[in-house]
Structure 1
Amino acid sequence: MLCQKCHKKTASVFISSIINGQESRMYLCNDCAKNYPLFNFNSQDPFSIKDVMEKFDISEDDSIETKKENLLAMDKDCEESDIICPNCYSTYNEYRETGKVGCSKCYEVFEKQLKPILRNIYGYEEYIGKSPKKDNSHIYPSKEMITLKEDLNRAVEQEEYEKAAYIRDKIKELEECNE
């Protein structure tokens, strides 16, 4: 759809207003929206659409991914509760309220916040999902294997090499049993 003001560029902003019960709709390109009288506030206004659009560096040439990346880059300064998954748009606050993530990408986006929670619940920091009903243990690492590998890393970090060797041997035994 073309901009209803300049009739040249693609409309990317939709404005709907209701005045005295009468609804009017307008589709504008970014440039016309920046100069639209309703949004052309002075720069002291705390919520100037013009300033917001400039801050987000919105361009018609930008892909959705570029716009998401710009939003995420700006979001680094936000508080944890404001973190948003770019895939499903779930927020960390929603996760805290429901206890459920929106998609698999949420585990990456909320990684810093979820690691301590997962460690408390499952005993390890990575969520590997539910085990399938059919025996696919050769495909997925067992919870015991993950725990042993974490113990091995800790033992090496603490320079407890005898303990590390013992854990390494247990890991090899488990791997041989699964083959």
Structure 2
Amino acid sequence: MYCQNCGKNPATTHIKRIVNGRLSEAMVCSECARKLGCGNFFGNYRFSLGELLSGLLEQEESPEEVRCPVCGSSFEEISRTGRVGCAQCYQTFRRRLLPVIQRIHGSTEHRGKKPSQGKMILRPQTGMRVVPQKVSDLEQKERQLQEAIASQNFERAAVLRDEIKAIKDTKEGKNHG
């Protein structure tokens, strides 16, 4: 479509005016728009609105292009399924995941199923896992039991199993008594 004012150049600006209560519309070229005093919101600066907006936005890879280096998941897949592919995904997509996690869970720190026992704390700000210093006897014995079984030291495993049972029985007695 050509300019409705000069008829020479392609129309690039849609002008709407209300004069004496009547709406008039016209498609004009940028030169006529400038002469009519429309479309020049930035004074003598020579740039388009598109240039302004593109300068404000960061040029970053699209979400489909960024993939977790370990499992290959993309942020789009994680968003669609609601499941993170692996532990590395939290670091790879950290900047985009933290606001979502904060909104859903109310916190960005995960303390596992039993926060009062504080098994392992994930601190997303640093991406580090912190194991609390104080480990209960029961947890220590359970870990030793798993190590004994893994190394096929079944005699030691049997002793640890009995010790774990005794600790649990003692705790149950305190809870019920």
- TM class by shorter chain equals 0.3 to 0.5
TM-score normalised by L of structure 1: 0.34
Structure whose alpha-carbon radius of gyration is higher = 2
